[in-house]
Amino acid sequence: MNYPEALAFFYSFSDWERGVGFNKTATGFGLEKTNSMLNYMGNPEKDLFLIHVAGSKGKGSTCHMLAEALHRSGYKTGLFTQPHLHTFRERIQIGLNPISELNFTNLAKKTKSTLTECARQSQKTFVPTTYELTTVAAFKHFSEMNVDVAIIEVGLGGRLDATNVITPKLSVITPIELEHTSILGTHIEQIAYEKAGIIKPFTPVITAPQLDKAMTSIQDIAAQLNAPIDLVTNSDISYWSKDVIGMHNRINAAVVTKALDILVDVDQGLTVPHKTLMSTVRSFSLPARCEIVTNDPLLIIDSAHTVNSINHTIATADELRPNKPLTLIFGCSYDKEVDRILNSIAGKVASIIACKSHHSKAMDPDRIYNLAQRHGIPCVIEKKVEQALKIATSHKGESTGVVVTGSMYLAAEAREALRLHDDTDPHTVSFPEVMPDE
């Protein structure tokens, strides 16, 4: 097995993220198959010091910031996140670096062997998803690499997410809002219930500020499980006002600060020097997370895809260039609440260039155009991100700003068009046919 073959193996299964529906036996959510594979591997996740992070926005940045602060403090860190920008290997990292092609290939061999044996032993059809296989592979790799601490990002929801087979040292919940309503529920308290499903008995949990109904759900579950809960306060957030641009970034910094404080209490041997935390937060930058590519003209690439997160990104642009017109290069997945997003930004942006990434779930830009017109936002269609960037950035000077946002996949293509990436996966990998969700 070589690296392209290893990629093809992971991609050959059902994948909700890509909208792959060819394998109808594996479309449900649950923990049974993940547990079965981990049991066969000897439960490598039980060897690990784990931090589990759920939420609607900021969870990826929070995970990366935690990993960076711990890495700078001398700890060997593991990081599991999703989706990736340019290479699948970004999802499994050691010491802030993606797993190597060689290690990824070897891991795929072990995962395939585990799958074969679990399928043989199972009394019923045993067909996991790409995400379940990747989760299992990550725990196996972190155990083999003997990491000091691993930060695990929830993929979707929390309660039934494949990562929720662990008993972490700390559970973290970032801001929650309406998202994935067809799966998680149409009310904020239902979504909070799913996210709070990562809380474990007697295990500390911290939460960012939440809407009242979301906070009530989280606190009720924590109380039922005797899990001590710590709330990030407005004072915690305002502490970072002078050092961090953007409210969402200040919230992330406050969450990370409180998380590290609690971890030091949980494990008396763990130490993160204050100066290390300060330097990490002040210098923190993550590709496609409110990434400031240029200041003049202002160009930001961001993977925001919810109402609040996109508005936070626009507010950050305004903070950097007050009272200047803003052009949005926008594209999203067909399951996003684009009408609510566009309604919320009407009057905040001067114009929109509607785009479509190459991702199978990308929304037709004609729909974005029609909804933008309904909300009174000037809009043009330019399906290719590279051309959209040329048009949007053709106006030199400080009088305009450009934000690329709406999806991780659009952000990735923008970075590739600007040659900001270091590594990409081979495009010669043969993937199964992708079909829309039913």
Burial class (CB in 10 A: 0-12, 13-18, 19+), 228: exposed
At residue 19, the pLDDT reads 66
At residue 363, the pLDDT reads 94
Note the pTM of the prediction, 2 decimals. 0.91
DSSP conformation class of 15: B
**Where is average pLDDT lowest: 39-43, 215-219, 415-419, 421-425?**
421-425
State the average pLDDT over residues 317-325.
89
369 has pLDDT over 50? yes
**At 343, which CATH number?**
3.90.190.20
At residue 4, the pLDDT reads 94
Residues 243 and 268 occupy one common structural domain: yes
State the average pLDDT over residues 120-136.
89
**Between residues 396 and 312, which one has the greater pLDDT?**
312
At residue 35, the pLDDT reads 96
Residues 322 and 355 occupy one common structural domain: yes
Q: Residue 438 domain-assigned?
A: no
At residue 124, the pLDDT reads 74
285 has pLDDT over 70? yes
At residue 180, the pLDDT reads 81
pLDDT in tens, 333-346: 888 889 999 999 99
Q: Minimal CA–CA distance to 251: which of 201, 209, 300? A: 209
pLDDT in tens, 99-109: 999 999 999 99
CB 348 within 8 A of CB 313: no
User: What is residue 334's three-state secondary structure?
Assistant: coil
Full domain range(s) for residue 185: 3-283
At residue 20, the pLDDT reads 62
Q: Residue 246 domain-assigned?
A: yes
22 has pLDDT over 50? no
At residue 26, the pLDDT reads 41
Q: Who's near 328: CB < 8 A, 6+ residues apart?
A: 314, 345, 349, 351, 352, 353, 402, 403, 405
At residue 18, the pLDDT reads 73
Cis status of the peptide bond prior to 128, with omega within 30 of 0: no
Considering 256, 283, 310, which residue would you say is the last residue of a domain? 283
Q: Who's near 348: CB < 8 A, 6+ residues apart?
A: 311, 314, 318, 326
The residue count of the chain comes to 438
User: What is residue 190's three-state secondary structure?
Assistant: helix
At residue 375, the pLDDT reads 97
Considering 283, 308, 325, which residue would you say is the last residue of a domain? 283
Residues 242 and 348 occupy one common structural domain: no
What b/e string do you get for 176-195 counting C-beta neighbours within 10 Å, with b at 16 or more? Answer: bbbbbeeebbeebbbbbbbb
**At 242, which CATH number?**
3.40.1190.10
Work out how many domains the chain is built from and give that number.
2
Q: How far apart are CA 330 and CA 345, in angstroms?
A: 12
Residues 210 and 69 occupy one common structural domain: yes
At residue 425, the pLDDT reads 86
pLDDT in tens, 412-437: 999 999 999 878 887 644 444 433 33
Q: Minimal CA–CA distance to 295: which of 416, 401, 394? A: 401
SS3 content of the chain, % helix, strand, coil (to 5): 45, 15, 40
Residues 116 and 214 occupy one common structural domain: yes
Residues 106 and 245 occupy one common structural domain: yes
Considering 283, 309, 337, which residue would you say is the last residue of a domain? 283
Amino acid at 6: A
Q: Residue 214 domain-assigned?
A: yes
User: What is residue 267's three-state secondary structure?
Assistant: coil
Placement of tokens 């005797």 in the chain = 226
**Between residues 175 and 394, which one has the greater pLDDT?**
175
Please state, for a pLDDT cut of 90, what percent of the chain lies above it: 77
Placement of tokens 């799958």 in the chain = 115
Residues 118 and 23 occupy one common structural domain: yes
Q: How far apart are CA 132 and CA 191, in angstroms?
A: 21
> H-type helices in 170-306, by residue range?
181-184, 188-195, 212-224, 234-238, 247-266, 274-283
**Between residues 358 and 181, which one has the greater pLDDT?**
358
User: What is residue 131's three-state secondary structure?
Assistant: helix
25: pLDDT confidence band, cut at 50, 70 and 90? very low
